Amino acid sequence: MSAFVALHEKGLSFEVSTVDLAAKENHADDFASMSITRRVPTLVHGDFSLSESSAITEYIDTLFPRPPLYPVDPRGKAKARQVQAWLRSDLMPIRQERSTEVVFYGSKMPPLSSAAQESAQKLFSAAESLLVDDSENLCGQWCIADVDLAVMLNRLIMNGDSVPERLIAYAQRQWLRPTIQLWINQTRPPL
């Protein structure tokens, strides 16, 4: 999602090719030749290919600096990258118990385990401290890390789990961004 949003934020033209992960198409030789990690998304730009969303968004932002996807000041950019890396490497109980099927298909899951509840509290604490003074965005202005945080929060919000009101309002504001709406309103194959 964040790579798709980033490309749209930059106003770049691109084509989307879907990969059937259930059929393990990402392990086929032709895909593996483009993605050494065999993961999606994978960006192909000329004779260069790159996987992992945060690497893709940083690459796009470096090549096409306007409008910026990350804060231009080094500390703000580092903070945004920290949030992205943390969201992708931690909070696994939430990821396991609240897949993106909750967010994009409206699936409902059973109550959170104690491990997922602990991860949720960690998420809430970090998000509350990042969104100082009721700011609408992580770094004082919108950045691509806002997309990632909103998705993680929406895994819980859209399942009906208890989330602090301030964080619900933040996630809802992010969800209204036109480039995010483009992703949300795509036609998806049935589950």
pLDDT digits (tens, 9 = 90+) for 120-169: 999 999 999 999 877 899 998 999 999 999 999 999 999 999 999 999 99
Its pTM stands at 0.94
Query: Are 59 and 98 members of one domain?
Result: no
Query: Are 88 and 28 members of one domain?
Result: no
How many domains are there within the chain? 2
Both structure tokens of 69? 């996807």
Predicted local distance difference test score (pLDDT) of residue 177: 98
Domain hosting residue 47, numbered range: 2-63
Query: Are 96 and 154 members of one domain?
Result: yes
Q: How far apart are CA 109 and CA 103, in angstroms?
A: 11
Q: Residue 44: how many CA atoms within 13 Å on its side-chain side?
A: 12
Give the residue-averaged pLDDT of 20-27. 90
Q: How far apart are CA 2 and CA 95, in angstroms?
A: 16
